């Protein structure tokens, strides 16, 4: 099966190459002159895939100075892990001409990308996403960063990679629930996009079964859609906010569950809440459409046991809330119809409480 390329028309455009069995050495060296580099990865992905990536790069003339491995999981998006990674790069002797390859899921991409964007005021970054979520979402768009004890993603920057290369073979080792988590973002974008992408969501079952054609189609659809949105609004002044569909409530549910809830599950339920708010606003009921897609992806319809009061409190703290008059109105991305998102819809605290309440017990 041949690979496919999507060009992200950012301020500085970059290609996203997707396919099984990628000739990584050749693809990378077509975009960047081989030179010194470091591989950035985590403790799960490193032992599985770093040696082959290193071999492919060295075979194409790259000098791999070392591999920096952080513990797998969100806790590596910390100031401590960031500082440690910078120190290790300096000790490896990576210079301004060097390249960082971020091989891993969204955690590695966000942390490795922030390191690449700030070490020596920025070295070249290549994203090698290995989780489904990273392939369809986080590796594209240029947002990188880390967490603070005070909250997720509070420190970061826009750092454009030179190249994104997603080898679908990497997904063979990914735990099944991580495919489901990534599918939450694909479903989100398919609903926002409508048209052919929405129809392709019928491939979710095949994708979960590991069908490479289905995976390729869904990754390409997602990347193309996100690339289009990002091209319109790279620095998030407007349109890019539609990508928060399901996330206003999703983030609040994650916080209310002390992050003992998978992001994909939280977003799944967040989208269902948005669907019921959309029904009230636009008199069009897309709840069944949402539920069928979530079923196909192995995602839940509700998250019992998440305290409603805590979710509402977290909603109040959400940085995306419009606090113009200080009242408990929230701003939502809703769907007037499949493929017709509406931004900035004001929703009252009572409506939000009712819609979330129906999904947390
Ligand atoms: N920058 C953005 O635009 C953006 C967008 C969405 C999410 N994110 C961030 O992405 C992160 C979530 O990303 P994620 O879901 O990929 O999490 P993750 O990076 O923690 O990966 C999930 C798990 O899968 C493992 N893994 C990854 N690839 C694997 C493979 N091929 N085989 C076996 N195991 C593998 C990881 O080690 C980890 O345990 C969050 O920190 C989130 O904030 C960023
Ligand atoms: Zn998300």
- CA distances to 103, 180, 339 from 106, in Å: 10, 15, 26
The H-or-E segment that residue 353 falls in is helix 349-360
Average pLDDT, the chain: 94
Three-state secondary-structure class, residue 255:
helix
What separation in Å is there between the alpha carbon of 239 and the centre of ligand 1?
25
Supply the DSSP string of 169-198, one letter for each residue.
Answer: GGGGGS-HHHHHHHHHHHHHHHHHH-HHHH
What separation in Å is there between the alpha carbon of 52 and the centre of ligand 2?
29
Confirm or reject: Cβ of 140 under 6 Å from ligand 1. no
The proportion of the chain whose per-residue pLDDT surpasses 70, expressed as a percent, equals 96
Return the best residue to mutate from 44, 49, 173 for the ligand 1 pocket (most ligand atoms within 8 A of CB): 44
What separation in Å is there between the alpha carbon of 144 and the centre of ligand 1?
13
Residue 75 C-beta-side C-alpha neighbours within 13 Å: 4
What separation in Å is there between the alpha carbon of 131 and the centre of ligand 1?
6
pLDDT band at 327 (very low <50, low <70, confident <90, very high): low
pLDDT, mean of residues 259-268: 95
Task: List all residues 6 or more positions away from 151 whose beta carbon is below 8 Å from its beta carbon.
Answer: none
Ligand nearest to the CA of 168: 1
342 neighbors 244 (Cβ within 8 angstroms): no
Atom of ligand 1 nearest to the CA of 73: 20
Q: Is 337 a catalytic residue?
A: no
- Over residues 28-79, the pLDDT tens digits come to 999 999 999 999 999 999 999 999 999 999 999 999 999 999 999 999 999 9
CA distance 106 to 73: 9
Look-up: residue for tokens 């050749």? 26
Q: Is 263 a catalytic residue?
A: yes
pLDDT band at 319 (very low <50, low <70, confident <90, very high): very low
Residue 19 C-beta-side C-alpha neighbours within 13 Å: 12
Q: Is 240 a catalytic residue?
A: yes
- Over residues 127-180, the pLDDT tens digits come to 999 999 999 999 999 999 999 998 889 999 999 999 999 999 999 999 999 999
Q: Is 121 a catalytic residue?
A: yes
Q: Is 226 a catalytic residue?
A: yes
Q: Is 354 a catalytic residue?
A: no
11 neighbors 232 (Cβ within 8 angstroms): no
Which two tokens mark 23? 């000739």
pLDDT, mean of residues 175-186: 97
Q: What is the pLDDT of residue 317?
A: 67
- Domains present along the chain, CATH in parentheses: 4-174 (3.40.50.1970), 176-361 (1.20.1090.10)
6 neighbors 220 (Cβ within 8 angstroms): yes
Confirm or reject: Cβ of 168 under 6 Å from ligand 1. no
pLDDT band at 315 (very low <50, low <70, confident <90, very high): confident
**Picking from 123-137, 153-167, 283-297, 323-337, which range would have the lowest pLDDT averaged per residue?**
323-337
- CA distances to 13, 37, 117, 238, 338 from 96, in Å: 21, 10, 11, 34, 46
The H-or-E segment that residue 103 falls in is strand 99-104
Confirm or reject: Cβ of 156 under 6 Å from ligand 1. no
Q: What is the pLDDT of residue 94?
A: 98
CA distance 126 to 329: 41
- Over residues 81-128, the pLDDT tens digits come to 999 999 999 999 999 999 999 999 999 999 999 999 999 999 999 999
CA distance 296 to 137: 19
CA distance 139 to 200: 21
Q: What is the pLDDT of residue 105?
A: 98
pTM for the whole structure: 0.95
Nearest CA-CA partner of 115 in 68, 51, 66, 56: 68
């Amino acid at each position: 099966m041949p690979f496919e390329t999507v060009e992200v028309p950012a301020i500085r455009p970059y290609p996203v190459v997707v396919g099984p069995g990628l000739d990584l050495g050749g693809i990378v060296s077509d975009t960047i002159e081989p030179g010194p580099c470091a591989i950035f990865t985590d403790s799960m992905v490193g032992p599985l895939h770093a040696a082959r990536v290193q071999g492919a790069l060295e075979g194409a003339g790259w000098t791999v100075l070392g591999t920096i491995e952080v513990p797998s999981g969100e806790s590596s998006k910390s100031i401590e892990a960031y500082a440690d990674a910078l120190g290790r790069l300096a000790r490896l002797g990576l210079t301004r001409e060097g390249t960082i390859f971020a091989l891993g899921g969204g955690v590695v991409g966000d942390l490795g990308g922030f390191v690449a964007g700030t070490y020596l005021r920025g070295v070249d970054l290549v994203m090698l996403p290995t989780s489904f979520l990273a392939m369809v979402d986080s590796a594209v768009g240029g947002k990188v960063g880390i967490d603070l004890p005070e909250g997720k993603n509070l420190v970061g920057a826009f750092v454009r990679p030179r190249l994104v290369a997603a080898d679908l073979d990497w997904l063979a080792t990914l735990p099944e629930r991580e495919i489901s988590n990534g599918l939450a973002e694909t479903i989100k974008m398919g609903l926002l996009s409508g048209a052919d992408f929405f129809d392709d969501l019928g491939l979710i079952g095949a994708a979960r079964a590991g069908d490479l054609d289905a995976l390729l189609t869904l990754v390409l659809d997602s990347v193309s859609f996100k690339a289009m949105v990002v091209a319109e609004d790279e620095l998030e002044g407007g349109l890019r906010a539609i990508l928060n569909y399901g996330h206003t409530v999703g983030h609040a549910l994650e916080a209310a569950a002390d992050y003992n809830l998978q992001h994909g599950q939280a977003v799944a339920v967040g989208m269902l809440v948005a669907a019921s708010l959309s029904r009230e606003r636009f008199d069009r009921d897309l709840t069944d459409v949402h539920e069928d897609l979530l079923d196909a992806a192995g995602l839940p319809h509700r998250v019992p046991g998440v305290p409603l009061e805590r979710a509402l409190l977290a909603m109040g703290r959400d940085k995306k809330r419009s606090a113009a008059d200080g009242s408990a109105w929230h701003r939502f991305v809703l769907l007037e119809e499949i493929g017709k998102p509406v931004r900035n819809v004001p929703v009252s605290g009572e409506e939000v409480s009712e819609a979330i309440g129906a999904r947390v017990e």
